[in-house]
Amino acid sequence: MRLRRVLFAVALSLSAPVFATPFVVHHIQVQGLQRVSSATVMHAIPLHVGETYNAEEGNRIIAALFHTGFFSDVRLKRVDDTLVVNVVERPTIDSVSITGNKSIKATQLKPVLKKLGIVVGYTFDPSELHSIVLGLQQQYQLMGRSAAVVIPEVKQLSRNRVAIHIVIKEGIASIVRGIHFSGNHAFSDRELRDQFKLTTPSIFTWFNHNDRYS
């Protein structure tokens, strides 16, 4: 997604290597790990012991580690002939809850949350939560609830965990009470109404939402 690409570019620029003098790497040390294994990091790093480090390789390393989705920050430094990789892990999602969703069932939301990685036990990516919020707001507008508000709440917990709570305030749907035309000489009002998906409220509109305006 565009937002995620922008955030990644910003993170990469902020984490650019502070040293550029090439040197042969004799050791690679990883610092800051909590849940992610050092083997996972070493596998992702596109540089091995015995190879030469330079600024270009540094950018490749940072990009590769960000690409895993496990880290919110990556920094490199040189200590003698050792390349030190310092990382900050993204928090793990401990719980996900949604309140206020009357028009959209939780069973409809869960597959969307799972697709974007907002699931208990997954690594938390703020950009994906932002995508969920935008998507829900657009969906409510399509349902005729332009006043709907979606508020994401992220609570920091111990052991680098977060609790996510999505608060939905649906508001009142815009309902079409009547459809009126003026200047229609060639067609009658009824003929024109038949061309509209919008209808005045009836028992059937509770199922298809055809009386909602967005």
Burial 50-82 (b: 16+ CB within 10 A, else e): eeebbeebbeebbebbbebebbbbbbbebeeee
Domains 2-89 and 92-169 share a fold: yes
What are 126-165's pLDDT values in tens digits? 999 999 898 888 888 888 888 899 999 999 999 999 999 9
Contact (CB, 8 A) for 150 and 135: no
- Sorted by where each begins, the domain ranges of the chain are 2-89, 92-169, 175-214
CATH of 92-169, one of 3.20.20.70, 3.10.20.310, 3.30.70.360, 3.40.47.10: 3.10.20.310
What are 75-126's pLDDT values in tens digits? 999 999 999 999 999 999 999 999 999 888 888 888 888 888 999 999 999 9
What are the strands, taking DSSP E only, across the chain?
A: 23-24, 27-31, 52-53, 71-79, 82-89, 92-99, 149-157, 161-169
Q: What is the mean pLDDT of residues 162-174?
A: 90
pLDDT score recorded for residue 201 = 45
Q: What is the mean pLDDT of residues 13-18?
A: 51
Retrieve residue 111's tokens: 């597959």
Q: End-to-end alpha-carbon separation of the chain, Å?
A: 25
pLDDT score recorded for residue 207 = 35
pLDDT score recorded for residue 174 = 67
Q: Whole-angstrom Cα distance, residue 98 to residue 85?
A: 38
The topology under which CATH files domain 2-89 is Ubiquitin-like (UB roll) (3.10.20)
Give every CB contact of residue 110 below 8 A, 6+ residues apart in sequence.
none
Retrieve residue 46's tokens: 């596109």
3-state secondary structure of 187: coil
Q: Whole-angstrom Cα distance, residue 128 to residue 89?
A: 16
Adjacent-strand bridge partners of 163: 95, 155
Question: 8-12, 33-37, 188-192: which range is least confident on average?
Answer: 8-12
